[in-house]
């Protein structure tokens, strides 16, 4: 067993160039800005943040669908740039949000689930059939659905198919991008239980992207909070939910509506809207919405301050803010 993190991002940035109108000058959009992350084997890292914060860009880079502009992605201590996408897809597999659009409606479940094996030329017909049956069993689907088509299945069943397809390659890391947000409450809990069981049985590592903080709290072991392409706080799940440091993390947690009648709707104090990522605010990108803003927040960008179990990027926790340039 190596002591490398199974997945590591080192100062990864991704810059898109956005054209502004027909004659407008192209402008850079920093979707990811010096993101560093480490995922230990068996961990579940919950990635939370509002839409547009860069969660999906991060997932795309990990899946090899996008190349980082700068920085490195390491799997088991090896830099990804040298490996090709095929090799990468054996180790990292995705589960997407919407099982209605992520399964090809014209292919049978058998075709969908075994496609990764055929692409990689793994096994023969008989062994693929054995793998298919084993996977369907693992995700709790009867073997007879192999001949069915996605349109014949419910949302929960489709998401089980998507999980079977992701796991048939025996990946080490699964990127779950909002895997339950398109599902009904009673189906969501079945899928969450299944993901928790599979992690234990197969020793999987998850990157769990979600805007539902209650779900993240339930499943994750660590949490990273993203804001405008930066990870502004990273901590163990207990620390983050009981003792969040960054004012943005606190505001996100306050917006969770627990089923407590009579408590009313909380005031998150996040007055202004989410900023336009093409022209991010100066200094700390969060300062226009921050309830604890200080004068130098508008001019000096905060640096990552190490904490006992992660880091936080906020001047409130930096003893020498003047040095943070």
Partner 1 sequence: MTDDPLLSVRGLTLDIPTGGGMLHAVRGIDFDLNRGETLCIVGESGSGKSLTSLALMGLLGPKIQRRATRMSFDGTDLQTASRRRLRQLRGDRMSMIFQEPMTSLNPAYTIGDQLAETLRLHRRVSKAEARARAVELLEKVGITAAESRLSQYPHQLSGGLRQRVMIAMALMCEPELIIADEPTTALDVTIQAQILRLLVDLQREMNMAMILITHDLGVVARVADKVAVMYAGELVETGPAAAIFGNPTHPYTRGLLNCIPIPGRNERGARLGTIPGIVPSLVGEVRGCPFRGRCDQRIGPCDEAAPLRHLPGGHDFRCVHPDGHRHEELTA
89 binds partner 1 (CB under 8 A): no
Closer to partner 1 by CB, 100 or 299: give it.
100
Strands ordered across the beta sheet of 70-75? 27-39, 7-18, 70-75, 78-79
Give the footprint of partner 1 on residues 169-198 (CB under 8 A). 184-186, 188-190, 192-193, 196
265 binds partner 1 (CB under 8 A): yes
Do the Cβ atoms of 170 and 205 come closer than 8 Å?
A: no
Which listed range, 74-82, 86-94, 165-173, 207-215, lies at the site for partner 1 (CB under 8 A)?
207-215
Closer to partner 1 by CB, 13 or 181: give it.
181
For residue 37, what are the β-bridge partners? 9
208 binds partner 1 (CB under 8 A): no
The one among 254, 281, 301, 321 contacting partner 1 by CB under 8 A: 254
262 binds partner 1 (CB under 8 A): yes
Size, binding site for partner 1 by CB under 8 A: 45
214 binds partner 1 (CB under 8 A): yes
The one among 31, 213, 226, 297 contacting partner 1 by CB under 8 A: 213
Give the footprint of partner 1 on residues 271-310 (CB under 8 A). 273-274
Question: Strand 222-227 vs strand 205-209: parallel, antiparallel, or unpaired?
Answer: unpaired
Question: Strand 70-75 vs strand 7-18: parallel, antiparallel, or unpaired?
Answer: antiparallel
The one among 132, 219, 235, 297 contacting partner 1 by CB under 8 A: 219
Give the footprint of partner 1 on residues 139-168 (CB under 8 A). 154-155
Query: In whole angstroms, how close is the CB of 105 to partner 1 at the nearest point?
Result: 19
217 binds partner 1 (CB under 8 A): yes
Q: How many residues comprise the chain? A: 325
Query: In whole angstroms, how close is the CB of 263 to partner 1 at the nearest point?
Result: 6
Give the footprint of partner 1 on residues 28-67 (CB under 8 A). 50-51
Closest CA to 222 of 47, 36, 4: 47
Query: In whole angstroms, how close is the CB of 194 to partner 1 at the nearest point?
Result: 10
The one among 251, 285, 305, 314 contacting partner 1 by CB under 8 A: 251
1 binds partner 1 (CB under 8 A): no
The one among 4, 91, 211, 296 contacting partner 1 by CB under 8 A: 211
Which listed range, 64-72, 144-152, 168-176, 206-214, lies at the site for partner 1 (CB under 8 A)?
206-214
Q: List residues binding partner 1 (CB under 8 A).
A: 50-51, 154-155, 184-186, 188-190, 192-193, 196, 211-215, 217-219, 237-238, 241, 251-268, 270, 273-274
């Amino acid at each position: 067993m190596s002591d490398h993190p199974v997945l590591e991002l080192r100062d990864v940035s991704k810059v898109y160039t956005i054209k502004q109108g027909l004659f407008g000058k192209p402008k850079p959009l920093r979707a990811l800005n010096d993101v560093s992350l480490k995922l230990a084997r068996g961990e579940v890292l919950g990635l939370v943040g509002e839409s547009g914060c860069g969660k999906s860009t991060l997932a795309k880079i990990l899946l090899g669908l996008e190349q980082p502009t700068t920085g490195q992605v390491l799997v088991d201590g090896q830099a990804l740039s040298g490996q090709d996408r095929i090799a990468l897809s054996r180790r990292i597999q995705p589960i997407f949000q919407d099982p209605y659009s992520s399964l090809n409606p014209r292919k049978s479940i058998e075709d969908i689930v075994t496609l990764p094996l055929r692409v990689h030329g793994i096994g023969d017909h008989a062994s693929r059939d054995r793998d298919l049956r084993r996977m369907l069993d693992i995700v709790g689907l009867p073997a007879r659905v192999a001949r069915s088509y996605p349109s014949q299945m419910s949302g929960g069943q489709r998401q089980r198919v998507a999980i079977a397809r992701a796991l048939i390659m025996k990946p080490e890391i699964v990127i779950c991008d909002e895997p339950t947000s398109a599902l009904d409450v009673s189906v969501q809990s079945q899928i969450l239980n299944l993901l928790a069981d599979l992690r234990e049985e197969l020793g999987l590592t998850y990157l769990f992207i979600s805007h539902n903080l209650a779900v993240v709290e339930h499943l994750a072991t660590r949490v990273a909070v993203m804001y405008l392409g930066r990870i502004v706080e990273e901590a163990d799940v207990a620390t983050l939910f009981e003792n969040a440091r960054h004012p943005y993390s606190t505001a996100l947690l306050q917006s969770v509506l627990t089923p407590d009648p009579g408590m009313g709707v909380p005031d998150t104090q996040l007055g202004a809207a989410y900023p336009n990522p093409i022209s991010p605010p100066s200094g700390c990108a969060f300062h226009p919405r921050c309830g604890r803003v200080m004068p130098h927040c508008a001019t000096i960008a905060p640096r990552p301050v190490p904490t006992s179990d992660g880091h936080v990027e906020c001047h409130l926790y930096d003893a020498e803010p003047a040095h943070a340039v």
